[in-house]
Structure 1
Amino acid sequence: MNASRIIRSVCDKIQLLFESGLLKYSNFKGCRHVLHAFNILSKTDVQENRVCIIRWLKPDVNWIKLNTDGSYNGKVAGCGGILRNHLGQVIKAFAGPVSGNSASVAELHGVIYGIKMCINLGYDRVWIVVDAMNILHYINSNFLFNAENYYLIRDLKQDLATITFQISHIHREGNGCVDALATLGCQFREFVVFSSNDIPRIVNGLVRLDRSGLPYIKKY
């Protein structure tokens, strides 16, 4: 609860909201003199900045959404995932260590573990969301072209063949829940499965923000 840090965070958020178009010059009518406090340029000094607004979207009724991620801290790898329903409520979440020496392999393990969890829970309509483009290539390709991960990809595709699924990409800024879980996975000695009642506090907070539709902002 450091005052300077809180003020800096508020200023940064206002600046990003302005750059994304959610705040405009008209919102500062009568107090244009504060623009410099938020690092907002005056109209005469405007520079173009590319920003992207990212939101976690709820799945349709009768579908569940599986977000997964992987992490590698230079020593150990871990993965995490979370299953949510059409209301944005948590069904299950998981985090745990995996073998491998890259985030890419960890991400692949996360998807595999998440799909197996869906199947074991009886869900056969799954919307998979990842922030690693290589996972989309593995799943959408008709070839098992990656020699290093051949058996992992084969295992994943065999499981996917038993369900109805769709897969999409999300920027890391919108995948915060599983990013936090994957980081925890690097710290665990074995896989841990969470319910909505015992999910880690930091993840629960991010889940609530996702469910509320709060936008995340990515700057280019």
Structure 2
Amino acid sequence: MYAPRIITSICDKIKLFYEANTLKHHNFKGCWQVCHAFSIVNIPAVMEKRVCMFNWFKPDPGWIKLNTDGSYNGKVAGCGGILRNHLGQVIKEFAGPVMGNSAFIAELNGIIYGISMCIKLGYNRIWIEVDAMLLLHYINNNSSFNAENYYLIRHLKQDLSNIIYKISHIYREGNVCADILAKVGCNLLEFTKFNDHDIPKVVKGLVRLDRVGLPYIRYHDGIK
């Protein structure tokens, strides 16, 4: 039980694991300074936190923008959405409960309800923005093969065939208005529509920030 010998043996083992590609450089994230102790000198890159700044953009005149989201807290699901004009002003917002046990099912219900609401209000040029890449996959790839959600996806595509639309992805940080409304929906017993004067105060504040173009900040891991 000679301490220096044990330490040396451990260091040799760590180095062997790295050379055998069992340990990889990203396993040392946050403790790069110890690599030299294991005689590891060929780290290909260093991971660091990077900052991404982006904005919520207003639609063009003649278009409206629909942001939707879904939420599942482990017990109940809900969805929500917000509809805004080319000035960034709120036309309608909604939130409501969803029968399901995943955020994706809630997101599907949210976009379906939102598009239906737009059509009922007489809008047919809609810019849809969501933070779920899987939704974009099903819409843009002309695929509806998903046994669990087949009928919801078919319903969605039927509604989309009746409007002129474009759809894009936004990071969750920029979709925060819809995200908050989706969480509100988890606590409601039925779907509720809001106007600009009766929406939750926190959402009203975020709408104003979107309107003036305040950027959102997203932190993610990047290679240095």
TM-score (norm 2): 0.76
For 2:143, the equivalent position in structure 1 comes to 143
The AA in structure 2 aligned to 1:141 is N
Match of 2:203, SS?
A: helix
Equivalent residues in 2 for 1:189-208, closer than 5 Å: 189-208=189-208
CA RMSD of aligned residues (A): 1.0
Residue matched to 1:158 = 158
Q: Which runs of 4+ in 1 moved over 6 A?
A: none
Secondary structure of residue in 2 paired with 1:122? coil
2:68 is paired with a residue whose SS is strand
- C-alpha displacement of 1:51: 1.4
Larger radius of gyration between Structure 1 and Structure 2: 2
- Mapped partners of 1:190, 1:71: distance in 2: 15
Question: TM-score, normalised to structure 1's length?
Answer: 0.77
Q: Which residue of 1 aligns with 2:71?
A: 71
| Deviation per residue, 1:66-123 (Å, 9 max, x gap) | 0000000000000000000000000000000001101011001000000000100010
Could you say what secondary structure the match of 1:134 adopts? helix
Residue by residue over 1:120-156, the C-alpha shift from the partner in whole angstroms, topping out at 9 and shown as x without a partner, is 0010000000000011011112221111100000001
| Number of aligned positions between the proteins | 174
* Structure 1 unaligned regions, length at least 5: 1-46
Q: Percent identity?
A: 71
1:219 deviation in Å? 0.6
Tell me what 1:188 maps to.
188
2:51 — aligned with what?
A: 51
Contact 1:54–1:173 (CA<8 Å) still a contact in 2? no
Please tell me the residue identity of whatever aligns with 2:151: Y
* Secondary structure class of the residue paired with 2:52: strand
How many angstroms apart in 1 are the aligned matches of 2:48 and 2:77?
Answer: 39
Unaligned runs of at least 5 residues, structure 2: 1-46
Which 10-residue stretch deviates more, 49-58 or 82-91? 49-58
